[in-house]
A and B are shown apart, each in its own frame.
Chain A
Amino acid sequence: MSGGARIWALHLALVAMLFAALFVLPTYHATNLARIMVLAVFAMGYNLAFGYTGLLSLGHAMFFAAGMFAMGLPVWHWGLGGGPALLLGLVAGGAMAGAVGLLALRTAGVSFMIVTLMFAQAGYLTILYFGQVTGGDEGFVVDAAARRLFGFDLSSDVPRYLAALALFAAAMAGCLWLVRSPFGRVMVAMRENEERSRMLGYDPFRVKLAALVISGVYAGAAGAAYGLLFGYVGGSFATIQYSILPMLYVLLGGAGTVLGPFLGALLMFYLIDITSGFTSAWLFFVGAALVLLILFAPKGILGTIRERGARWLP
C-alpha cells in the first residue's frame, strides 16, 4: 500500500470505527463521544495554528465563542434556522481570527500568546458587557425548533451523533488534505524556520494569517456545532479555560499530528470524567498527566509514536 493510501485508510478506519461506536456504546459514552468529536474539531483548528504553523495562541476561546454566538444570537433574536446559523458560526470564527491575526501577528512567540490572550479576555468581557443582547454570563438555551438540520432533530441522540461525526470527518479530511498539500508544507516551514522560508520567497505574515483564519474557521465551526448540538450558548465558553483546553488536547495527543487532537480530547475528557467521580482534586490528575507527558513524551502520544517508528503518520 502506498504511503498516501495507507494514511487515508487509517483515517477512514477511524471514521468507520466511530460510526460503529454509535451502535455499540451505551448512551452515556455515545453522547460523550459526540461531545469529544466536536471538541476535537476545535483542537484540530488549534493544532493547525500551533502544531503545524508554530503559533502559540491563548485566544482560541474567542474564535470558539465567536462561532457559538454567531450561531446562537440570530437563532435567539430572529429565529434563524439551524443550517444558516451553523454557517454563520463558521464564518464568524474565521473572520474573528482574521481580524485578530492582522494585529496580533505583528508579534511572535510569547508576545503573540499574550496579545491573543488579551484579545480573548476583551472578547469575554464584551459578551458580559452586552449581557442584554448576549445573555451575558448566564447564557441562553437554543430554541429546540432551530436545532434541526436537513430535517433531522439534533436534540435526539442518533442524529446528533451523526452530525458530530459528519463534522468531525469533514474537518479531519480537510486537515489531512491541507497538511499534505504544498501550503501545509509551507505552514510547517514557518514553524521550523521563518527566516529561511522568507528567504525562499514566502511571505510569513500571509501564510500565518491564512493558517490562523483556517484555524479560526475550525474553532468557529466547533463552537457553532457545540451550541447547536447541545442546546446552550454561554459566556463561560469564552473564558481562558477554553483557550487552554484545546492546547492540552493537542499537547497530549501530539502537536503536528492529524489524529493527535482527537486522541488528546478523548483521553482528557475521560481523565476528567473518571477522576472527578472520586476526588475533588481532579485538576491534580490533569496536571500530573501533563508533567508525565512533558517528562516522557514531550511530543505527545502520536508525536512520540511517529518519532519511534511510524514516520508516515501525518
Chain B
Amino acid sequence: MTKDIIGAGPSRRTILKGAGAGLLAAGFAPPVWAQSAPIKLGFQLHRTGIGAAYGRWYERTAQAALKLVNDGGGINGRPVEIVFEDDGTDPKRGAEVVEKLTSQHGCDAIFGPLFSHVVIGSAPRAGELKVPYLVCSEGYHVASGMLNRWTMQPGITDVRAQVSSMAPWVMENLGKKVTMVFPDYAFGHDHRDFFSAAVEAAGGEILAHIAIPPTETSFTRYLPQIPRDTEVLYHVMVGPAVLTFVKELGEFYGTGARPEIFGFIDSLEAVDTATPGLEFLEGTHFWEGHCRVKQPDASEHETAYRAAVGVDDNGASVTDTRDVATYAHMFSVWETLHVIKAGMEAAGYQGPEDRQKFVEAVEAMTEMPESLAHVQGAKVFNGKTHQVFGHQFISRVEGGKLMKVHTTSMEDGMYEDAVDYTAQSF
C-alpha cells in the first residue's frame, strides 16, 4: 500500500530557497584546496590543571584564528590543521606533548603554551627535535637567553616589558611611594624585581615588599605590614586567592582613606569584575594586555577579532555571560598563528625540512603593524632575543567595568638585549 504524504515533494518556494542558499554558500564557500597536504600545527594546550581557565579560551581563539586563516587561503595555498594536546599544565607532560605532536602527529610547528614552567620544561625537547616552538607565555625566560633558537615569543610581550612600562605612568599619576604585594614564587619575583627597578629609575621609592607564601589563603596578617605612608599599593595575586585578598583589603581599609591601588589583571583573568565582593576595586587601576571591555575607540580589527572569538562587549562569552574570557592574554594565540602564517609564507615553507628557514624568516621580522593579524596593536619583533615588544594598557574600574585610561608607548617596555639567539647554531 502506498501512502501519499501531502507536502513531501519540493514546492516551488522550497526550490527557490534552496537555490538562493546554494548561491549564497557558493559566494562564501571556503577555498577549494588543490591536492595539497595540510600544514599541521600542534597546540600545546592547558586543557586541565591550573591553566585550564586559560586553556579553554586559548582553544577557542586558536579555532577562530584557524578559520580565518583557512578562509583566507591557508598557508602557502595549503589548508591548515591544528592538533590540540592537553599538557595538564605540567612541565613533564608538556615535554611529552611536544614529543607527541612532533613525532607522532607530524606537526610542522608547535605553539600556544602559557605557563612558564611548562614552557621551560618543554623547550629543551623542542630544541632537540628541531621543531619551531612558539610560546604565548609572557615569561622573560625567552628573552633572558634561557631557552634555545627554536623557541620564540612573537605574539605577546613579556613580564619584564609589561611591568617596566607601568612604572612611569604609576609614578606620574598615582604616587611615588609604592608597596608591593606579590606571590612568593618566580612569577611574583619577576614583578618585584622589574617593577622595583623601574620605580627607582623613575624617581619613586619602594616602601615595602610583601611576599605572600603560595599556600596562603588569608591575608589579614599581611595587610598591617603595608606602611602608613604608602601612596600606591601594587598587587599581583594569582588564582582564587585574589577574591579573598581584595575582600580582606576592603575590610582592612573600610570606608577610610586608602592608597591608590594598582594591580595586574592576571589576578582577575576569567573573573567578572562586577562579582559581589569586588566592589572595593571601584576606582582602582589594572594593567591589561588587551582591554577586556570593548573601548569607545576600538579599531575595526579589534571588533572583528572580538566577534570571531565569540566575546561580547563586556568581555564574556556571547553564549554565556558568566563565562568571562582571558581577554588580556588570549590575543597572543591569534597573533602567533598569524606570525606562523607570515613566517611560513616568507620562508616558502614546504615541509619539516624547511623548519630552519621558517625560524630564520621569523627572526627577520621587525615591524608588525596593527591589523587583523595583530589585533592587540602594533608590535616590533626582536629577532635576536626572539621576543616581541608592544603597547600595554592601563584601565580603571568604573561602574564595575575596566575602562582604558592610558596606552603605553612601545619604548616604555624596551630593555637591553640579554641574548642573541641568531648567533646560536640550529
Question: Which A residues contact B (CB, under 8 angstroms)?
Answer: 26-28, 31-32, 35, 125, 128-129, 131-132, 135-142, 155-157, 230-232, 234-237, 241, 272-273, 276-277, 280, 282-283
Contact = CB atoms under 8 A, between A and B. Distances in A.
A232 B120 contact: yes
Interface in B87-105: 88, 90-93, 95-96, 99-100, 103-104
Contacts of A135: 186
Interface stretch (B25-33, B123-131, B166-174, B307-315): B123-131
B86 A136 contact: no
B96 A273 contact: yes
B92 A237 contact: yes
Nearest to A135: B186
Contacts of A132: 189
Contacts of B88: 276
Contacts of B187: 137-138
B48 interface: yes
Contacts of B185: 128, 131, 136-137
25 contacts: A28-B103, A32-B96, A125-B213, A128-B184, A137-B116, A137-B186, A137-B187, A138-B117, A139-B117, A140-B120, A141-B120, A141-B147, A142-B124, A156-B128, A232-B95, A232-B121, A236-B90, A236-B91, A237-B92, A273-B96, A276-B88, A276-B93, A277-B85, A280-B86, A283-B48
Contact of A230 (B86, B103, B125, B214): B125
B146 interface: yes
- Lowest 9 A-B CB distances belong to which pairs? A231-B124, A28-B103, A136-B186, A138-B186, A232-B121, A28-B104, A137-B185, A138-B116, A27-B103
B99 A32 contact: yes
A136 B190 CA distance: 12
Contacts of A277: 85
Nearest to B139: A138
A35 B86 CA distance: 18
Contacts of B11: none
B186 A131 contact: yes
B424 to A, nearest CB: 10
A156 B127 CA distance: 11
Contacts of A35: 96
A129 B184 contact: yes
Interface string B177-215: 000000011110100000000000000000000000111
Contact of A280 (B47, B139, B213): B47
B141 interface: yes
Contacts of B146: 140-141
A139 B120 CA distance: 7
B139 A230 contact: no
Given A138-B139, A276-B86, A236 B117 contact: yes
A166 B109 CA distance: 33
Interface centre among A28, A237, A283 (most CB of B within 10 A): A28
Nearest to A272: B93
Contacts of B139: 138
Interface in B205-228: 213-215
Contacts of A276: 85-86, 88, 93
Given A136-B189, A138-B116, A280-B47, 15 more contacts: A32-B96, A125-B215, A128-B184, A129-B213, A139-B91, A139-B117, A139-B120, A141-B147, A232-B120, A276-B85, A276-B86, A276-B88, A277-B85, A282-B48, A283-B48
Contacts of A155: 124, 128
Nearest to B215: A125
Contacts of B121: 139, 232, 234, 236
A131 to B, nearest CB: 5
A146 B25 CA distance: 59
Nearest to B83: A277
B197 to A, nearest CB: 15
A74 to B, nearest CB: 18
A231 B125 contact: yes
Given A137-B117, A141-B124, A141-B147, A236 B92 contact: yes
Contact of B103 (A31, A236, A280): A31
A193 B176 CA distance: 69
A28 B215 CA distance: 37
Contacts of B184: 128-129, 131
Interface centre among B47, B104, B147 (most CB of A within 10 A): B104
A136 B116 CA distance: 11
Interface centre among B48, B128, B189 (most CB of A within 10 A): B128
Contacts of A237: 92
A277 B96 CA distance: 12
A277 B187 CA distance: 30
Nearest to A127: B185
Nearest to B128: A155
B331 to A, nearest CB: 23
A235 B90 CA distance: 11
Contact of A232 (B48, B91, B104, B214): B91
Given A135-B186, A136-B186, A31 B99 contact: yes
A74 B397 CA distance: 47
A31 B99 CA distance: 8
A231 B141 CA distance: 15
B189 A131 contact: yes
Contacts of B47: 280
Nearest to A276: B86
A236 B123 CA distance: 16
Contacts of A125: 213-215
Contacts of A136: 185-186, 189
Contacts of A138: 116-117, 120, 139, 141, 186-187
A32 B92 CA distance: 12
Contact of A273 (B100, B120, B147): B100
A86 B48 CA distance: 33
